[in-house]
Amino acid sequence: MSIANKIIEAMLAEVERYKLELLLRYPDDLLVHDRMALARNAHAGAKFCWMVGDSHTHLARLGVHPKLNEYPTFLTNYCANDRFYVIDIARNGESFSLKEITRESFPSLSHTTIPYKRVGQANSFWLYKHESRVGTATITRTGTYEKPIYDTRLAVMAGTSQGDETVLEDWAMQSAVEMAGTLFINPRFTWLPPIEVALAA
């Protein structure tokens, strides 16, 4: 079983433990949408915040981008019986922990360290992790005025992990949102060959 499916099983166990009605009301939110998010983002060392209640589930990866780190601050005022968790995937990518935390401590997850930074402008930048390059993105607005398309060309450094590839895509998406001034955008991603580093003679 994949690590993403193992996490879903643990999440389902929490829904059952607290007799939440999520699976009766909106089962796809957990079984489809959260599963898809985990399949994409459940890489070695990844960290997530998760809030679940009778009619909602909200899952967000932390430590990737400042905007994503804001999610825990939005999710504490829905319903009185909501439950709050932090999910950590081990560095080997093979195990995880799902820990329940208090409503009061949940917003503090927004302070999760982000090792990534963008160097350049929203439409053309390098992404760094600590002091090493992850990859580059170039975004061009095409389409029509009414229906713009944000054509995004991405390339990672050779040897970059799959987890860092998804982070580059996340940063490109947030940069396109910054360019558009709205969350409702139509991005189109094109992955270019990895960038090889020339060795000194």
> Could you tell me the CATH number of the domain that includes residue 170?
3.40.630.30
At which of 68, 87, 111 does a domain end?
Answer: 111
Is the residue at 196 inside a domain?
no
155 and 136 both lie in a single domain: yes
Query: Can you give the pTM of this predicted structure?
Result: 0.92
Mean pLDDT score of the chain, rounded to an integer? Answer: 95
Are both 25 and 97 inside the same structural domain?
yes
Residue 201 is assigned to a structural domain of this protein? no
The whole-number pLDDT of residue 198 equals 67
Q: 200 pLDDT exceeds 50?
A: no
Together in a domain, 94 and 137: no
Domain end position, chosen among 69, 94, 111: 111
Please determine, for residue 168, whether its predicted confidence score (pLDDT) is greater than 60: yes
**Which pLDDT value is given to residue 201?**
47
Question: How confident is the model over 121-132, as a mean pLDDT?
Answer: 97
pLDDT, residue 199, reads 53
Residues 61, 160 within the same domain: no
Same domain as 97, residue 14:
yes
Residue 154 has pLDDT above 90, yes or no: yes
Residue 122: what pLDDT?
Answer: 97
Residue 200 lies in a domain: no
Percent of the chain's residues with pLDDT above 90: 96
- Is 199 part of any domain? no
- 125 confidence band (pLDDT: 50, 70, 90): very high
Residues 52 and 75 in one domain: yes
Q: How many structural domains is the chain composed of?
A: 2
pLDDT for residue 136 is more than 60: yes
Query: What's the mean pLDDT in 54-80?
Result: 96
104 and 161 assigned to the same domain? no
Range of the domain at 83: 3-111
Residue 94 lies inside a defined structural domain of this protein: yes
Q: Is residue 155 part of a domain?
A: yes
- Asked, for residue 40, whether it belongs to a domain, the answer is yes
Does one domain contain both 36 and 91? yes
- Which of 65, 80, 111 is the endpoint of a domain? 111
Domain-located, residue 131:
yes
186-197: per-residue pLDDT in tens?
999 999 999 998
| pLDDT (average), residues 132-161 | 96
Question: What is the 3 state secondary structure string of the chain?
Answer: CCHHHHHHHHHHHHHHHCCCCHHHHCHHHHHHHHHHHHHHHCCCCCEEEEEECCCCEEEEEECCCHHHHCHHHHCCCCCCCCEEEEEEECCCCCCEEEEEECCCCHHHHHHCCCCEEEEEECCEEEEEECCEEEEEEEEEEEECCCCEEEEEEEEEECCCCHHHHHHHHHHHHHHHHHHHCCCCCCEEEEECCCECCCCCC
